[in-house]
Each structure stands twice: as C-alpha cells, then as structure tokens.
Amino acid sequence: MSELAYDVTGSGEPLVLVHGLASSRRCWDLVVDELAHDFTVYAIDLPGHGGSAPIPGQSQTPATEMALAVGRFLDEQGIDRAHMCGNSLGGWTVLEAAADGRASSVVALCPAGLWEPITEPMSAIQFNRRAAVSTRRVIPTLMRITLLRRTLMRTGVERTAQVPYRVAVEAAYAQADASGFEQAHDGALHRRFDRAELISPDVPVTVAFGDNDRLLSYPRFQKRDLAPAHVRWEVLWNCGHAPMWDVPRVTTELIRDAAARSSAA
C-alpha cells in the first residue's frame, strides 16, 4: 500500500499534482479530466493531508521532507521522473522534488518558499483552519449559502462565483481534517526554497502567481531571485492563490507548455 493516498487517471507521460497546506488531492478536480487526455495523472495527498497519514515521529515536516515522500511515491509506481505541478506548499514541494532530480518539468502555482523566511504563523491560514475545524459538522449547509461560500473562498480565490459548491465543500473538509497541519505549517517556518541551483537547466520550470494573491502577495512572498535562473515567470490576470480554480484552462495550458518544453529539450 502506498504511503500517500492518490487517484490516477488518463494515459501518457506521468504527471503528479501536489496540493497546498490544509488541502487535498480534490483541489485538482476542475483540471484532472482535461489533463488526463495527455498524461497519466497522479493526484496525491501529501503526508498528514486528505487520506495520507502524517510522517511518524516528526513535529515538523518541511517541504524537503514532503518532496522525499513524493520521491518515494514515484519509486512505488516505478517512475524515475515525472512532470509536476503544485500549488502553494505543493509548489514549494515540486521545486524541492526537482532539486532532488525527480521532475521532468515543473509548474509551481503561487508557490510558498520564495520568500525571506517567515517566523510567525500567518493569520489568514490560521483563521481558515480554525473556522473549518469549528464548523465541520455543518460545512455542507454553510456552503449552500452562496454569499457566505463566496466570502469564505475569497482569501484564496478571485473569481469566487465560478467555484462549484462541491469544490468548496471538499476544500473546507480538507482544511478541517488535515491531521498533519501543524507539522506542515511549522515545517514552513524559518525556511525557504534555497536549492534552485540544483535544478537542471534541462528541466523547464514555470512559476505563476495570481495578480491578486492575498495569501502570498507581491513582493514579500514572490522573490524571483530564489527561483532557478531559467525560470519562466508568469503573472495570471484576475487570479488569486488557487489558479486551478480561478483559471483552470490557463493552468492546464501552463502544464502542457512546460511538458512540451521538456520533450523538446
């Protein structure tokens, strides 16, 4: 049995999708079917998220450890390298996995880690977590109230009106049920992505931030000099912290483009 819970669909070169802090593999539901036309898509749950147990004995699980878990997952599937796309903490994780030599191409959507290390918990993330835990029993009911649902999604999404009810419910449950939240959260403190030089120039890297990312805003959390020198840096119009919800079509295009550049290299 795999260490990480996952879904797999489609056919073609392997593509691994990695969610963010207090999220789950369900966050990719709006793009998986489209990507499955071109890739064998593995949507995974990071340790302590979704259906995956936390890594035993760890009080902190930094992105480097998350990346090693992704590497072990690839080994279980008999895959040497895969195309990768990650959001937020998942974006940091796929950059670390690329530094480990496990990526054919990388798309990092609003990645954490491209910052001067933060030392204190981020209030918006803590609020969302507490709200989800305290209201878990009534999440489906609350999310049926359109105005409330859009308000709650506003932290991470610019185009809140287009986030389906089921996606909002799954996101709230993932927030409430992330058993490894504290380990992953604390693992991000006092650290940043600092291994850009280990990512081969032959591995295409795209970093894309929404133009209105309220969680990781410009310029404090978007340090381009921490990305690989060959990075393709994109700013996504009318987009927040979750491009796979705000701009799902653009998200799939970014992934296809990075994979195509890998094949051409």
Q: What is the pLDDT of residues 100-147, one digit of tens each?
A: 999 999 999 999 999 999 999 888 899 999 999 999 999 999 999 999
For 22-79, what is each residue's pLDDT tens digit?
999 999 999 999 999 999 999 999 999 999 999 998 899 999 999 999 999 999 999 9
* 174 belongs to a structural domain: no
Percent of the chain with pLDDT over 70: 99
Domain residues for the domain of 17 are: 6-118+181-264
* 146 belongs to a structural domain: no
pLDDT at 95: 98
According to DSSP, the β-strands at 39-44 and 82-87 are: unpaired
* 140 belongs to a structural domain: no
* 217 belongs to a structural domain: yes
Listed in order, strand segments (DSSP E) in 45-155 are: 82-87, 103-109
pLDDT at 264: 75
Helix (H) or strand (E) holding 167: helix 165-177
Instruction: Give how many domains the chain has, as a whole number.
Output: 1
Instruction: For the full predicted model, state whether its pTM sits above 0.85.
Output: yes
* 124 belongs to a structural domain: no
Q: Is the CB of residue 232 less than 8 Å from the CB of residue 204? A: yes
Phi, psi of 29 (to 5 degrees): -60, -30
* 65 belongs to a structural domain: yes
pLDDT at 144: 96
* 80 belongs to a structural domain: yes
Q: What's the CA gap between 168 and 150, in Å, rounded?
A: 9
Structure token digits, residue 61: 């699980």
CATH number at residue 219: 3.40.50.1820
* 253 belongs to a structural domain: yes
pLDDT at 124: 87
pLDDT, mean of residues 224-239:
98
pLDDT at 265: 64
